Structure 1
Amino acid sequence: MKPARPADAPPGEQAAENAASARGTNPDRVRQRNLATVLRLVHRAQGSSRSELTQSTGLNRSTIAALVGELAEIGVVREAVPAASNRVGRPSPVVTADPRVVAIAVNPEIDAVTVGIVGLDGTVHRRIRRETDSVPSASEAAHLAAATIRDVLDELPGDVRATGIGVAVPGLVRRSDGVVRLAPHLGWIDEPFSEMLRAETGLVTRAANDARLGAVAESIFGSGRGVGTMVFLNGGASGVGGGVIVDGRPLGGVEGYAGELGHTLVNSSGVVCHCGAVGCLETEVGQAELLHALGRERGSDDDLDALLAGSDDPRVLAEVERQVGWLSVTLRTTVNVFNPQVIVLGGFLGALHGVAGDRIRALTTESALRGPGQDVSIVRAALGPRRLMIGAAELAFEELLADPSSLAAR
């Protein structure tokens, strides 16, 4: 063991020793950073050739080969030789994320708790929706989710490794500790849901707002793929939520509460929202009102799609036009504030876009500022019900993507 330096060692000598010590750790830090860079590229691209990784990272071929080899040894990527092509020369091996590395996704709702198993390659292997007779309390949702997780894990092959749990919550989740500060439709206030689920499962658990996680999923694998600045609005049984991606990164705010676009003022003569304000988007635009106009009490997004597309009932058409009008007010504000390249609409808002996409764009752009209004595209979300599962899984994959060796350590 190296002897300790005496307390009265010359400052210059001590500084030189500290610098040497720091230099000794640099190769490890660089290697960890490069491993993370390669894994993240493979994960987001859902597969890349070694030559593509060389081009994307600027590293040389031998370094990429060594990094891929180490990632394969850890068990987070696989390599395969692509099928024969007409290109001259030996084809570059294709590197893909190993689907046997999975995250568990949980989404508590007002009428169900959904659990999913999502591979590191972005594949949703399982999605189980456990319906409830009433709105579940935090402890009830944690217990139901934990029981479902145990059942699912028991059915998985023995070589599958779970990195942890990600929770998509329809409410405000404090980033520092995962406490659900307010989930109004669930009736949760200051509930440590992440800790409850960790205590029941023994797995690392992280939580965030569901729409924010939906935005992350759509930006990586969906309609916002390759887009630097994107706004996502999702409509579900629990209301309207939003998420913002700026320069490829989710906008969180000080404690993770940014993006609550469902509480944009759209009607100053409207009704009082559960948040205490008057005329929020959530009070004017809702899934329940669309289903009521269609003569239905419940229905999935797919049901709503087909029903709206197939209806010529004047009451349905009038409700669609009413909701599109209020939605466009929020979208106009969104365009002016964030200047996004793309606005992505999911859930029942996606169903509205399916039957009135041109109308939504016309109302939005004619009242938005000329510059940002001309540049924006308004599109429908691509991932469907997989979106929240994938977004929650990304939360659980964060540590692994930042430090691939952490899986080996576990």
Structure 2
Amino acid sequence: MSGEEVSRSPGTTLDVVRRQNLTQVLRLAHRDGPISRAELTRATGLNRSTVGGLVSELRARGLVEESEPHPTRKVGRPSPMVVAADDTVAIAVNPEIDAVDVGIVSLGGRVIRRVRYKNERIPTPTEFVNIVSAIVDGMRPELDASYRTLGMGLAVPGLVRREDGRVLLAPHLGWREAPVSAILAKVTGMPVVAGNDASCGVVAESVFGAARGVDVVVYLNGGASGIGGGIAQGGTLLMGAGGYAGEYGHTLVESAGAACHCGAIGCLETEVRRDALLRAVGLNDADVDRLPAALALAWREPDSAGAREVRRQVAYLGIALRNIVNGLNPRRVVLGGFLATLLKVVGEAGIASHLGVALPGARYDVGFVAATLGQDVLLVGAAEMVFAPVLEDPTLMPLELEPATV
């Protein structure tokens, strides 16, 4: 059965059909672009004329662009390439204890510009708002001249209430009941959405990175402020009843461990820490970009402080991963931030060897991979929250031009 036949099931109207088909085409251009009209025709099951009309309307709404087709030796006119519009953008923000990152991210997941503001101290919610608004003000001439900005997305290392973006608790930042989304919306005049940073990461890696096409994915992000987690199934983020699912940084891994900000003892993020790795190889926060090379070098010397710290942290990480594997049976676990560095140092087999008594079925199903989006992952995920309504219903964007006749 074709995509058109599926769309025209009883109870649907022509407007609903059109929106569904626009959504199909836009999502493909967003995720897979540049993609030819011919490929869109095959992927959607729609006929060529219908796809041409949909692309024309999406262009008129400023959501896609077309470029010259790639050269081909095939007979006939080659199909134009369709890509998500690079001038339709979101502002993406990631606050951390050491820095605040602000980026301009295009529809299609490209980080066009990135500004990193290094904190002299951990910012309060008010200081954070001031930092972001100042950076955005500096971007205004560029934004106004070159882009259509749909809003701002915040990837926050903490508990974020789903319905209003209020930060209930970001322990390492020291934020409690912080309405930063509402304040930023008022100050900047933009719609603002917020979510947990690792939940943003799993969305980004599922759409553009190491988890594309994977049915059940868990993402663990290791940052300056700790470890967060996100879960996706079938490309859909699993958030839990209140939006707080995936807090694997607070998995118990050491019953005699250190006290955690959450009030418990021996959480994963108290035992597996970036600052401990930096100290073990003689670096500090300012040298964080040198950490992967330093750990790789230390790993060659089994008795070095760096190698011992890697082994210690990987053992604790394995305990948490065993619980994840047994509880969720994921197809893939994606490790980001300094956890990706640990994976690259010891290898997938080195991680898997610490799963211990993980149940055999789930253990054999799972693979461990490093995040592929690197330092862009959280900004891309934050932007996806902004783009989500338009990707769901492209008709939310007004027609800027009359659609061309196909």
What is the TM-score normalised by the length of structure 2?
Answer: 0.92
Q: Distance in 2 between matches of 1:228 and 1:87?
A: 36
DSSP 3-state at the match of 1:363: coil
User: Which residue in 2 is equivalent to 1:361?
Assistant: 352
Residue 33 of structure 1: CA displacement?
2.1
User: Which residue in 2 is equivalent to 1:92?
Assistant: 79
1:198 corresponds, among 166, 185, 199, to 185
User: What are the within-5 Å matches in structure 2 for residues 8-407 of structure 1?
Assistant: 26-156=13-143, 158-299=145-286, 302-311=289-298, 312=301, 314-357=304-347, 358-364=349-355, 366-407=356-397
Q: Distance in 2 between matches of 1:60 and 1:78?
A: 20
**Contact 1:111/1:136 (CA < 8 Å) preserved in 2?**
no
**Contact 1:169/1:183 (CA < 8 Å) preserved in 2?**
yes
Q: Deviations over 1:109-143 (max 9, x none)?
A: 11221100001121101110111211101111011
Q: Which runs of 5+ in 2 are unaligned?
A: 1-9, 401-406
Q: Distance in 2 between matches of 1:299 and 1:132?
A: 11
**Contact 2:201/2:230 (CA < 8 Å) preserved in 1?**
yes
DSSP 3-state at the match of 1:385: helix
> What letter is aligned with 1:360?
I
Distance 1:300 1:354, change over 3 A: farther
Q: Distance in 2 between matches of 1:164 and 1:332?
A: 39
> Structure 1 stretch 380-389 or stretch 263-272: which is displaced more?
263-272
Tell me which structure has the larger Cα radius of gyration.
1
Q: Distance in 1 between matches of 2:161 and 2:314?
A: 32
Residue 299 of structure 1: CA displacement?
4.3
Residue 47 of structure 1: CA displacement?
2.3
User: Which residue in 1 is equivalent to 2:403?
Assistant: none
Q: Distance in 2 between matches of 1:243 and 1:36?
A: 25
Q: Distance in 2 between matches of 1:143 and 1:275?
A: 27
User: Which residue in 1 is equivalent to 2:3?
Assistant: none
**Contact 1:146/1:197 (CA < 8 Å) preserved in 2?**
yes
Q: Distance in 2 between matches of 1:301 and 1:54?
A: 46
> What letter is aligned with 1:379?
V
> What letter is aligned with 2:354?
L
Q: Distance in 1 between matches of 2:297 and 2:103?
A: 31
Q: Deviations over 1:339-398 (max 9, x none)?
A: 11111111110111111123112212x421111111211111111111011000101111
Q: Distance in 2 between matches of 1:374 and 1:88?
A: 47
User: Which residue in 2 is equivalent to 1:7?
Assistant: none
What is the TM-score normalised by the length of structure 1?
Answer: 0.91
> What letter is aligned with 1:290?
L
Q: Deviations over 1:229-265 (max 9, x none)?
A: 1111010101000111112211111121011111111
DSSP 3-state at the match of 2:351: helix
> What letter is aligned with 2:266?
G
Residue 270 of structure 1: CA displacement?
1.4
Q: Distance in 1 between matches of 2:202 and 2:123?
A: 25
Q: Distance in 2 between matches of 1:407 and 1:198?
A: 20
> Structure 1 stretch 389-398 or stretch 56-65: which is displaced more?
56-65
Residue 157 of structure 1: CA displacement?
6.4
DSSP 3-state at the match of 1:158: helix
**Contact 2:160/2:244 (CA < 8 Å) preserved in 1?**
yes
Identity of aligned residues (%): 50
DSSP 3-state at the match of 2:141: helix
> Structure 1 stretch 73-82 or stretch 233-242: which is displaced more?
73-82
Q: Distance in 2 between matches of 1:63 and 1:317?
A: 59
Q: Distance in 1 between matches of 2:278 and 2:124?
A: 26
User: Which residue in 2 is equivalent to 1:4?
Assistant: none
Q: Distance in 2 between matches of 1:380 and 1:102?
A: 27
**Contact 2:252/2:268 (CA < 8 Å) preserved in 1?**
yes
**Contact 1:301/1:351 (CA < 8 Å) preserved in 2?**
no
Q: Deviations over 1:185-221 (max 9, x none)?
A: 0111111110011011000000000011011111111
DSSP 3-state at the match of 2:354: helix
Residue 227 of structure 1: CA displacement?
1.1
DSSP 3-state at the match of 1:387: helix
Q: Distance in 1 between matches of 2:227 and 2:145?
A: 39
Q: Which runs of 5+ in 1 are unaligned?
A: 1-21
**Contact 2:207/2:235 (CA < 8 Å) preserved in 1?**
no
> What letter is aligned with 1:175?
R
Q: Distance in 2 between matches of 1:399 and 1:246?
A: 19
> What letter is aligned with 2:150?
T
DSSP 3-state at the match of 2:145: coil
Q: Which stretches of structure 1, 4 residues or more, deviate above 3 A after TM superposition?
A: 299-302
Distance 1:382 1:301, change over 3 A: farther
Q: Distance in 1 between matches of 2:274 and 2:178?
A: 26
Cα RMSD (Å): 1.7
Q: Distance in 1 between matches of 2:74 and 2:109?
A: 29
Residue 168 of structure 1: CA displacement?
0.4
DSSP 3-state at the match of 2:155: strand
> What letter is aligned with 1:223?
A
**Contact 1:80/1:95 (CA < 8 Å) preserved in 2?**
yes
